[in-house]
Amino acid sequence: MPANPALQSAKTLALRPQWRRTMLGCVRCPALVESRSRVVPGDGEIPADVVFVGLAPGRFGGDRTGIPFSGDRSGDLLRRMIRGADLQRVFITNVVRCNPRDACGRNRDPDAHEIANCRSHLEAELALARPRLVVALGRIAWRELAGHAAAFSPVDASPLRIGNRLLFPMYHPAYVIRGAYTERRYARDFKGLAKLLRTAIAD
């Protein structure tokens, strides 16, 4: 999971087809075109054992680096947790490709229209990555992957199968950074995730 755009996996870049060019030139959401510095596609191993899906690139992270969850505190924490759990063949992406900002220039949640406009980009990445497990980081990502009726309950969570996709909820690293959930418990959750993934791979 390289944090430097220049060090992106040659495998990842080589396997991205026409949809990546379409994604990078996307202008579906005028507000996001105005606020973003760049479009941020997913990054990591293809095919992947596990895909982490966050909400959107942060203005101090992916919006600057071009790689999701890199260059900011949330990215640092997520990648440290992944390394600590010894997770391999990981792909990281977001529900929305562009950084949404409010009138004051701060990060905001993408609206329903923006999420819907980006859905085809996310589905294309998941189809290409073919993960054993998809991890939703945060309530909004979980709702978009599991359905709006699915309760978001990351504490002692169980995986949910939707069609041929195995989904798992976890807190967004920003939630941990704010102190709402301890880093120690977050690390424990990642260890449990690694165990779940080993079981999924063995099946």
pLDDT of residue 21: 81
Q: Are strands 160-162 and 165-170 parallel, antiparallel or unpaired?
A: antiparallel
pLDDT in tens, 80-113: 999 999 999 999 999 999 999 999 989 999 999 9
For tokens 């079981």, the residue is 199
Average pLDDT on 60-75 reads 96
Whether 14 shows a pLDDT value over 80: the answer reads: no
Residue with the bigger pLDDT between 174 and 21: it is 174
- Compute the C-alpha angle 159/164/166, nearest 5°: 20
Residue 26 CA, chain-centre distance (Å), reads 19
pLDDT digits (tens, 9 = 90+) for 138-183: 999 999 999 999 999 999 889 999 888 899 999 999 999 999 999 9
CATH number of this structure's domain 5-202: 3.40.470.10
**Which is more confident, 23 or 81?**
81
Contact 36, 98 (CB under 8 A): yes
Q: What percent of the chain has pLDDT over 70?
A: 91
Among 202, 203, 201, 14, smallest CA distance to 89 is for 201
**Beta strand residue intervals within the chain, DSSP E:** 43-44, 50-54, 90-94, 133-137, 160-162, 165-170
pLDDT of 74 reads: 97
> Would strands 90-94 and 160-162 be described as parallel, antiparallel, or unpaired?
unpaired
Residue 162, amino acid: I
Q: What pLDDT, on the 0 to 100 scale, is given for residue 17?
A: 62
pLDDT of 200: 84
Cis amide linkage into residue 41, ω under 30° from 0: no
Does position 8 have pLDDT exceeding 80, yes or no? no
Per-residue pLDDT at 6: 38
Residue 16's pLDDT is what?
60
Nearest to 96, CA basis, from 126, 65, 120: 120
| Interval 33-57: pLDDT, tens | 999 999 999 999 989 999 999 999 9
Per-residue pLDDT, 70? 96
What would you report as the CA-atom Rg of the chain, rounded to the nearest whole angstrom?
16
Domain parsing of the chain, residue ranges: 5-202
pLDDT value at residue 19? 72
Structure tokens at 182: 């301890």
Higher model confidence: residue 192 or residue 10? 192
